[in-house]
Structure 1
Amino acid sequence: MTAEPTRGPRRLTRAPRAAQGVGVSVARPDGTLKVTGEFAYASDMWHEDMLWGHTLRSPHAHARVLSIDIAAALAVPGVYAVLTHDDLPTSQTRYGLECLDTPVLADGVVRHHGEPVALVAADHPETARRAAARIAVDYEPLPVVHDEATALADDAPVLHPHRDDHHAPHVRHPNIVHRQPVRRGDPDAAAARADVIVTGTYTVGMQDQAFLGPESGLAVPAEDGGVDLYVATQWLHSDLRQIAPVLGLPEDKVRMTLSGVGGAFGGREDLSMQIHGCLLALRTGKPVKMVYDRFQSFFGHVHRHPATLWYEHGATREGLLTHMRCRIVLDGGAYASSSPAVVGNAASLSAGPYVVDHVDIEALALYTNNPPCGAMRGFGAVQACFAYESQMDKLAAELGLDPVEFRRRNAMSQGSRLPTGQVVDAPAPVAELLRRVKALPLPPERQWETAGAAPDVRALPGGLSNTTHGEGVVRGVGYAVGIKNVGFSEGFDDYSTARVRLEVAGGEPVATVHTAAAEVGQGGVTVQAQIVRTELGVQQVTIQPADTRVGSAGSTSASRQTYMTGGAVRHTCEAIRERVLALGRARFGGTHPAWEHAELLLEDGKVVTEAGEVLAALADVLDGQAIDIEQEFRHRPTQPFDRMTGQGFGHVQYSFAAHRAVVEVDTELGLVKVVELACAQDVGKAVNPQAVAGQIQGGTVQGLGLAVMEEILVGPDAKVRNPSFTDYLIPTILDTPTLPVDILELADHHAPYGLRGAGEAPTLSSTPAVVSAIRAATGRALTRVPVRPEHITDTP
């Protein structure tokens, strides 16, 4: 910095409170582009002289690959390369999030329907598709493992006979991916004291993330022998860690940049086309673009684990829980993906947000020949929530208690101890959330009726299909509440990195933020800018594209990015502020009262309240130089669960949401109309209130989909029957009910700004709330989701 002895700070003028800091509903910078169709998603990328990649997939769920003949495919004009497992460049031919068990291309055996077998690169996508169809593969079908009975039978085929991972010693059968028990107290003695005991077996179908932007990416070979990959993903550095060894390249020669992402919900945590595109680009020496169609997409990513859950609860006449036993079996499909972590979540959260001191819990995931399953919004807690909330309704009915009152009597609060032994040391307003959601006014009944007019069929079960005019339509109201962890767990080194640059441009201070955080629609780009404005008082903030030139930000999952990357941005801004203070003191300290005032604002973190003074001071202090700092941020450490007892401080934070569902059901036709799904949720601090409400509403609707329509159908042959949006149904705007949201802000002092991850918790409780309401309307037990018409119309 060049000093001008005769020059003091410029005149500082007071400005109104900054309008775009933390706590304000700031518009998304990409919002207008997305709603007008101008935003560039990964599938919109283009490169001169680009080839197109295509994946040939197995028509069998379990088969030995006897031979592959690619001659006919190579003879197609316009084809540049055809690759099989034998063409992989290194001995590292497998990848995986937790276990390296997933082949890049089938290694002699296919283990699920749709497994990649060969790759084609051609000058046109249709040419690549036609060439792939000419590849002749000779398969020998093998016995199919499709459920617990076939997976754990004495003569069951062992799907991964050579597995070598840290979970294997804790399971009793090689087709068990992972097992986690949780034991605490004395359930047998507690059961003897129970006045009422209820049991139930519950089933959750396989749900798809159903993001609207299919998997896509562009791989560009580089002059240094490396590759530049532009891809829609959730975790750039995790992809990099898996991709580089397979390509035989050091990580610094695999340069990754996030492209436009059309939704994720966990389905982009695992690799899809990343390695395939890079292999084709390096083989041909040309850029290669791969874009899945919807059929390919259903086979190209993991899904939510289908589950079978057995539960037992006991309670006293006064409505207090005595004990709980449960067994949760998750179908992990052909490869591990994140199944071990999902098991840990399901086990540790299986009791729900209730105080129950005596538990005996077992959760496990299986290898089968069904489609691979892994991360999806809610991550194991969704399946458990449907079961324990169904049990709460059953217990309340047995005791003759109001279902909300029964839940409130057993609700955990700050200081409660979970079955894992962890004490909840932040606000846990479970009872208050239930109170609030129940207190909301109910929507008017029979909204389809208008005096003197025909019924509005859009408001009736069946909608525009016009199947009912209100005959036999019954209203039901149901409640549910759930608990979800935030962040990675069980001792994982969960951190995020942020680089912030502060400089003067055009006479005003500006900031640039660079992280590897994947913006998948959740609004991270908005939050990062809000934090910089709050911490530095700078209004002009630029968010650079996410890539691997900066340290890892972890995955955009587990409701963690605002906590972790937001925490990293804040942490880095604090370091910049300290640097500014040091520079300012060296230049102006004790010489000008205006600087002293700005200095106090910076020290006290009040830069937003009087941003004009700080902006002027920053411009003077920097005086042409830039401050550029990169730092990591970590939350407090967690620890692995004990493999035998499940005890341990496994999760860094918990979030809670409660729902009330109002449904109308045509009991004769089995049709359901969800009229309203009201949610109350504690978010600690709403950094962007409008975005938080949108996250809650989005998660709510995704849970509604699981409740009444979304399921990937897989037959006993382990083949997918409905890999399209024609047959796999997701809620449309006509299925979406009124979505009132009541947001609480009870700060968690462990977290930046006291915030609490918000995106997943509403997905848990909306599903059982809808099913509870359908039960209230029909009197049916309804132990399976999604609920189908035949579940309502069949004899109970």
Structure 2
Amino acid sequence: MTATGVPGHLTQGSATRGGIGESTLRPDGTLKVTGEFAYASDMWHEDMLWGHTLRSPHAHARIVSLDTGEALAQAGVYAVLTYDDLPAEVKNYGLEIQDTPALANGRVRHHGEPVALVAADHPETARRAAAKIKVVYEELPLVTDEASATAPGAPLLHEGRDDHHAAHTPHPNIVHRQPIVHGDVAAGRARADVVVTGEYVFGMQDQAFLGPESGLAVPAEDGGVDLYVATQWLHADLRQIAPVLGLPEEKVRMTLSGVGGAFGGREDLSMQIHACLLALRTGKPVKMVYNRFESFFGHVHRHPAKLHYEHGATRDGKLTHLVCRIVLDGGAYASSSPAVVGNAASLGAGPYNIDNVEIETLALYTNNPPCGAMRGFGAVQACFAYEAQMDKLAAALGMDPVELRQLNAMEQGSVLPTGQSVDSPAPVAELLRRVKARPLPPERQWESAGGAADIRALPGGLSNTTHGEGVVRGVGYAVGIKNVGFSEGFDDYSTARVRLQVAGGEPVAVVHTAMAEVGQGGITVHAQIARTELGVSQVTIHPADTQVGSAGSTSASRQTYVTGGAVKHACEAVREKVLEIGRAKLGTYHPAWATAELLLEGGKVVTDGGEVLASLAEVLGDEVVDLELEWRHRPTEPFDLRTGQGDGHVQYSFAAHRAVVEVDTELGLVKVVELACAQDVGKALNPLSVVGQIQGGSTQGLGVAVMEEIVVDPATAKVRNPSFTDYLIPTILDTPTIPVDVLELADDHAPYGLRGVGEAPTLSSTPAVLAAIRAATGLELNRTPVRPEHLTGS
């Protein structure tokens, strides 16, 4: 890793070890790699029951009848619940639009929709009982794409919509529509010497987290419930759960349990309401753990998309205009589709200066699986298409594809098609320069000095399909732009509580937030911030729960920015309170208490010149400083619903990739040899974690490029591959070398100058791999993932 650029802001307590800028090891790391970490699926309660969900075998059907008698009669069964058993007037939930029933209400809208719940004394008993529930369905006509969704007489998936998006959508089966209009496209077309168009298809991707949905609901003596659950957003869960249970929020207490990955798939509810309903009905703790098959039906996926793009350019390569239309399949329920539409539309032009732009983006209601948040959140699909267009345009102009991108690259001060100015570093051209300048990996790496082939380095790997004959190398480039944080006027804030006291003669800080640690390393960063700002070595991270204010979602690359900002803000307030105590107790003995800039370092109060005034233990004595504060970044605003204009985003992140692939053109097999990345992170708070995030995001983008896709039967809208046997994700044998070049160009608006890291590499890795495969084969390849038959014509 290399790090260059403007350093982050000068921070308090830089002499304390384990602070900001150091590669501090994760406190949960050893437990996770040794298998000792307690995930949500490991939870246990002495007298607990097991919950199970009966799901619809149809994608669209009316429930004619439902008989639970035989299931209730089975020994070991404590409860069977259907829609009619829901205890409150509120029976639906949803992140933004409350259109999802807790249990199906007379109609199912997608394959795998929850219909009934069972609680039993053993998980297999619960499964057998669920199989005895007799449900008679009458299948209904399917809505599976834009044509069937908007055709005259099309079945309406949500009749009588009254949500705030319904009024501006051209059809009730359109969840949300966002146009972006900037400049004069007709004038741009008139200037263009070359125009290229493309139709692109992006497949449905699963988050494929390793820890399945799981949680434990424990009924409480006050009539409420305690829920221990793997989630991404405790307070959003709480806001949706409590009304369906008919309880005030203070009686639904939530604690984060061990989370085995998320990537957006845990933003929506899965088993949370169901476990609580069963616990409250039976009066016993209820545990629910999905198997992998259930998991594929129990969470949202990445929106598949169809994208039409048109770019024009002058002979010297300057972009003249862009016209694009992006259609996202949101599936049966809204989830976060409106926000995904906003992202895809506002970022649909990519990190390029284009004066004349017309973009239309919409999301559909269909009977396909519900789709929502996944790493990259709308920007991934758009990046795949606009980067393919850049290569197509470069070929038409006879230009180097990297030079074309650099010629049109945005920079600080550039104006997006939404009218928003980029007011922090945007080193797009530099990122491309860096990945292009990196030495290429050696050719024919499978050949050893003795002449024997190392088949692991070949397309097909250990399947031993080739020894190098018919293998062709290709190199491809891509760059992307991703927003950081929640956008479009959302009140994006976080809360942190920080306590400082003396224990055993040493100052100890406790940091308490509701941030969901899903594997991203946020708890490590919070401890680093506390050490830096408070100058103490001993920092304890309190378990995340709803007994502290909301930290928002662990998504949108926002947690280090927003919850890290809240921890920093609370620590600064605690520091000022400590100094206030010190001035009151000891200030009369040394004039520096009143005149010097005082710092906390190494458990001491020191002047900016390094003079020690007192130990923190001496200052605090028996006193405890305990403060809980909210922190907000600067506000955003909604996009205009006619023109898409508005300062909708708080920050942007950029990453570029160069992919080197080798393709067996006879069998259609691909080996990604290297996937080099350059990314601006503003300030690397934990350099080791930063590189890990970039490599992880790059691998996830690689997956959707060459193997990952949920296959939905177009005739039945049923998922055909709900298992890791048939849904393939990259293993260590598929993962290439991923060298990372980190830039640190500080964003002066952000804490420590940092920039959200986790999502940007997921954008550009996919189109870079596709570009490399195109370079190797000469094929157009306008869909993801690329399959062997796309490369061989079979």
How much has 1:189 moved relative to structure 2?
Answer: 1.1
Summarize the Cα distance change of 1:609–1:359 in structure 2 as closer, same or farther, 3 Å threshold. Answer: farther
Preserved contact between residue 16 and residue 611 of structure 1 (Cα < 8 Å): no
Question: Could you give the per-residue CA deviations for residues 529-552 of structure 1, whole angstroms, max 9, x where no partner exists?
Answer: 000001010110000000000000
Provide structure 1 residue ranges, at least 5 long, that are not aligned to the other structure.
1-14
Q: Equivalent residues in 2 for 1:671-710 (5 A)?
A: 671-710=669-708
Aligned length: 780
Work out the CA distance in 2 between the residues paired with 1:332 and 1:508: 54
Summarize the Cα distance change of 1:411–1:599 in structure 2 as closer, same or farther, 3 Å threshold. Answer: closer
Work out the CA distance in 2 between the residues paired with 1:128 and 1:454: 55
Where does residue 5 of structure 1 map in the other structure? none
Query: Structure 1 counterpart of 2:17, which letter?
Result: A
Mean Cα deviation higher: 393-402 or 586-595: 586-595
Query: Structure 2 counterpart of 1:617, which letter?
Result: S
Q: Equivalent residues in 2 for 1:537-686 (5 A)?
A: 537-592=535-590, 600-602=598-600, 617-686=615-684
How much has 1:614 moved relative to structure 2?
Answer: 7.0
Query: Structure 2 counterpart of 1:722, which letter?
Result: N
Work out the CA distance in 2 between the residues paired with 1:456 and 1:541: 48
How much has 1:453 moved relative to structure 2?
Answer: 3.8
Where does residue 304 of structure 2 map in the other structure? 306
Preserved contact between residue 675 and residue 739 of structure 2 (Cα < 8 Å): yes
Preserved contact between residue 438 and residue 660 of structure 1 (Cα < 8 Å): yes
Summarize the Cα distance change of 1:732–1:53 in structure 2 as closer, same or farther, 3 Å threshold. Answer: same
Where does residue 463 of structure 2 map in the other structure? 465
Q: Equivalent residues in 2 for 1:285-364 (5 A)?
A: 285-364=283-362
Where does residue 247 of structure 2 map in the other structure? 249
Question: Could you give the per-residue CA deviations for residues 272-313 of structure 1, whole angstroms, max 9, x where no partner exists?
Answer: 000000000000000000000000000000000000000000
Work out the CA distance in 2 between the residues paired with 1:449 and 1:571: 56
TM-score norm. by structure 2 comes to 0.97
Preserved contact between residue 602 and residue 614 of structure 1 (Cα < 8 Å): no
Where does residue 794 of structure 1 map in the other structure? 793
How much has 1:588 moved relative to structure 2?
Answer: 1.7
Summarize the Cα distance change of 1:608–1:195 in structure 2 as closer, same or farther, 3 Å threshold. Answer: farther
Preserved contact between residue 460 and residue 673 of structure 1 (Cα < 8 Å): yes
Where does residue 752 of structure 2 map in the other structure? 753
Work out the CA distance in 2 between the residues paired with 1:367 and 1:254: 31
Work out the CA distance in 2 between the residues paired with 1:190 and 1:33: 58
Work out the CA distance in 2 between the residues paired with 1:246 and 1:425: 43
Work out the CA distance in 1 between the residues paired with 2:293 and 2:579: 57
Preserved contact between residue 537 and residue 608 of structure 1 (Cα < 8 Å): no
Query: Equivalent of 1:405, from 390, 403, 406?
Result: 403
In the alignment, does 2:773 pair up with 1:774?
yes
Summarize the Cα distance change of 1:34–1:637 in structure 2 as closer, same or farther, 3 Å threshold. Answer: same
Preserved contact between residue 537 and residue 615 of structure 1 (Cα < 8 Å): no
Query: Structure 2 counterpart of 1:519, which letter?
Result: E
Q: Equivalent residues in 2 for 1:100-115 (5 A)?
A: 100-115=98-113
TM-score norm. by structure 1 comes to 0.96
Work out the CA distance in 1 between the residues paired with 2:594 and 2:692: 42
Where does residue 7 of structure 2 map in the other structure? none
Summarize the Cα distance change of 1:615–1:779 in structure 2 as closer, same or farther, 3 Å threshold. Answer: farther
Query: Structure 2 counterpart of 1:760, which letter?
Result: E
Question: Could you give the per-residue CA deviations for residues 220-271 of structure 1, whole angstroms, max 9, x where no partner exists?
Answer: 0000000000000000000000000000000000000000000000000000
Preserved contact between residue 266 and residue 376 of structure 1 (Cα < 8 Å): yes
State percent identity of aligned pairs. 81
Preserved contact between residue 185 and residue 322 of structure 2 (Cα < 8 Å): yes
Query: Equivalent of 2:374, from 373, 376, 387?
Result: 376
Question: Could you give the per-residue CA deviations for residues 302-335 of structure 1, whole angstroms, max 9, x where no partner exists?
Answer: 0000000000000001110000000000000000
Query: Structure 1 counterpart of 2:155, which letter?
Result: P
Work out the CA distance in 1 between the residues paired with 2:594 and 2:687: 34
Q: Secondary structure at the match of 1:482?
A: strand
Preserved contact between residue 506 and residue 617 of structure 2 (Cα < 8 Å): yes
Work out the CA distance in 1 between the residues paired with 2:170 and 2:38: 49
Preserved contact between residue 18 and residue 611 of structure 1 (Cα < 8 Å): no
Question: Could you give the per-residue CA deviations for residues 462-493 of structure 1, whole angstroms, max 9, x where no partner exists?
Answer: 01111111111000000000000000000000
Query: Structure 2 counterpart of 1:789, which letter?
Result: P
Q: Secondary structure at the match of 1:340?
A: helix
Mean Cα deviation higher: 271-280 or 433-442: 433-442
Summarize the Cα distance change of 1:681–1:414 in structure 2 as closer, same or farther, 3 Å threshold. Answer: same
In the alignment, does 2:376 pair up with 1:389?
no
In the alignment, does 2:443 pair up with 1:455?
no
How much has 1:507 moved relative to structure 2?
Answer: 1.1
Query: Structure 1 counterpart of 2:271, which letter?
Result: M
Q: Secondary structure at the match of 1:376?
A: coil
How much has 1:18 moved relative to structure 2?
Answer: 2.3
Work out the CA distance in 1 between the residues paired with 2:318 and 2:432: 17
Preserved contact between residue 592 and residue 607 of structure 2 (Cα < 8 Å): no
Summarize the Cα distance change of 1:68–1:231 in structure 2 as closer, same or farther, 3 Å threshold. Answer: same
Work out the CA distance in 1 between the residues paired with 2:173 and 2:683: 43
How much has 1:738 moved relative to structure 2?
Answer: 0.1
Where does residue 430 of structure 2 map in the other structure? 432
Where does residue 518 of structure 2 map in the other structure? 520
Where does residue 784 of structure 1 map in the other structure? 783
Where does residue 196 of structure 2 map in the other structure? 198
How much has 1:452 moved relative to structure 2?
Answer: 2.5
Work out the CA distance in 1 between the residues paired with 2:614 and 2:201: 62
Work out the CA distance in 1 between the residues paired with 2:493 and 2:590: 41
Work out the CA distance in 1 between the residues paired with 2:450 and 2:348: 51
How much has 1:794 moved relative to structure 2?
Answer: 1.2
Q: Secondary structure at the match of 2:589?
A: coil
Where does residue 182 of structure 2 map in the other structure? 184
Q: Secondary structure at the match of 1:393?
A: helix
Q: Secondary structure at the match of 2:348?
A: coil
Where does residue 741 of structure 2 map in the other structure? 742
Q: Secondary structure at the match of 1:765?
A: helix
Summarize the Cα distance change of 1:355–1:615 in structure 2 as closer, same or farther, 3 Å threshold. Answer: farther
How much has 1:592 moved relative to structure 2?
Answer: 2.8
Where does residue 88 of structure 2 map in the other structure? 90
Q: Say what the alpha-carbon RMSD is for the aligned residues.
A: 1.7
Where does residue 363 of structure 2 map in the other structure? 365
Question: Could you give the per-residue CA deviations for residues 757-778 of structure 1, whole angstroms, max 9, x where no partner exists?
Answer: 0000000000000000000000
Q: Secondary structure at the match of 1:237?
A: helix
Provide structure 2 residue ranges, at least 5 long, that are not aligned to the other structure.
1-12
Preserved contact between residue 55 and residue 116 of structure 1 (Cα < 8 Å): yes
Query: Structure 1 counterpart of 2:345, which letter?
Result: A
Work out the CA distance in 2 between the residues paired with 1:583 and 1:55: 56
How much has 1:655 moved relative to structure 2?
Answer: 0.1
Query: Structure 2 counterpart of 1:77, which letter?
Result: A
Q: Secondary structure at the match of 2:235?
A: helix
Preserved contact between residue 77 and residue 119 of structure 2 (Cα < 8 Å): yes
Q: Secondary structure at the match of 1:589?
A: helix
How much has 1:19 moved relative to structure 2?
Answer: 2.2
Preserved contact between residue 270 and residue 301 of structure 1 (Cα < 8 Å): yes
How much has 1:780 moved relative to structure 2?
Answer: 0.2
Preserved contact between residue 655 and residue 764 of structure 2 (Cα < 8 Å): yes
How much has 1:616 moved relative to structure 2?
Answer: 5.0
Summarize the Cα distance change of 1:131–1:745 in structure 2 as closer, same or farther, 3 Å threshold. Answer: same
How much has 1:617 moved relative to structure 2?
Answer: 2.6
Work out the CA distance in 2 between the residues paired with 1:555 and 1:543: 18
Work out the CA distance in 1 between the residues paired with 2:105 and 2:393: 51
How much has 1:454 moved relative to structure 2?
Answer: 2.2
Query: Structure 2 counterpart of 1:785, which letter?
Result: T
Work out the CA distance in 1 between the residues paired with 2:442 and 2:388: 26
Summarize the Cα distance change of 1:432–1:793 in structure 2 as closer, same or farther, 3 Å threshold. Answer: same
